A and B are shown apart, each in its own frame.
Chain A
């Protein structure tokens, strides 16, 4: 059983450029989450999908950020016109939410290794 996969693992970009990160969740998981983590801080929630539907977006997700999960499988997170304050690790996570029997599986999430973004 493969875990959550993120690509690229590291990205250095110039301020003003656009970047895109991809996440492949654990295959049977129907929920996918994006978090952002900076040094010395815990992960901060950005958004999550249930299948292809984006169910919640944080206030942290400005207009320059957009996330998609077009077929309910992999997801992309795009940051347009990057700023130095966007430098962080972007974490993807997934879980399986059972509509008929919600419980621990839907409420405990599994993370990928993260994508590090440095904006110079």
Chain B
């Protein structure tokens, strides 16, 4: 079983919808939790990171971490067609170097 599991999707929503993307993990030592957006045939782009538990908001994006449940989420409000991409969660043990990624959820936002 993988250390990081991500809802595979694909996910298709109408423009303006609220999107919820989720990951679970098994390693309780993870402390940094990241979300990346990846367009087709491009490198991943860092969207947000959260340290330990709690919420973090950046514009239309909100990241949540629940360490007790080993569960993280990314919410996208007022989704736009330009949000159509693959979203990857990633996590790392503090200062360890290596990040462990989920396999991504592909999101399509229809106009």
Contact = CB atoms under 8 A, between A and B. Distances in A.
Interface of A: 4, 6, 31, 33, 40-45, 48, 50, 55-56, 58, 89, 91, 97, 102-104, 106-114, 116
Which of A6, A102, A109 has the most chain B CB atoms closer than 10 A to its own CB? A109
Nearest to A113: B43
B62 interface: no
Contacts of A116: 41
B82 interface: no
A112 to B, nearest CB: 5
A50 B98 CA distance: 12
A110 B97 contact: no
- Give the 5 A-B residue pairs with the shortest CB-CB distance, closest first: A42-B101, A111-B43, A107-B32, A113-B43, A45-B98
Nearest to B36: A111
Chain B interface mostly: strand
Interface residues of B, number: 27
B49 interface: yes
B94 A107 contact: yes
A48 B42 contact: no
Interface of B: 4, 6, 31-32, 34, 36, 41-46, 49, 51, 88, 90, 92, 94-95, 97-104
A18 B93 CA distance: 34
Nearest to A106: B95
Given A40-B104, A102-B94, A107-B32, 14 more contacts: A42-B4, A42-B102, A45-B99, A45-B100, A56-B97, A97-B95, A103-B51, A106-B95, A107-B49, A111-B43, A111-B45, A111-B46, A113-B42, A114-B41
B35 to A, nearest CB: 11
A58 B97 CA distance: 12
10 contacts: A33-B99, A40-B103, A42-B4, A42-B88, A45-B98, A56-B97, A102-B94, A107-B49, A107-B92, A109-B99
A104 B51 contact: yes
Given A43-B88, A55-B97, A108 B43 contact: no
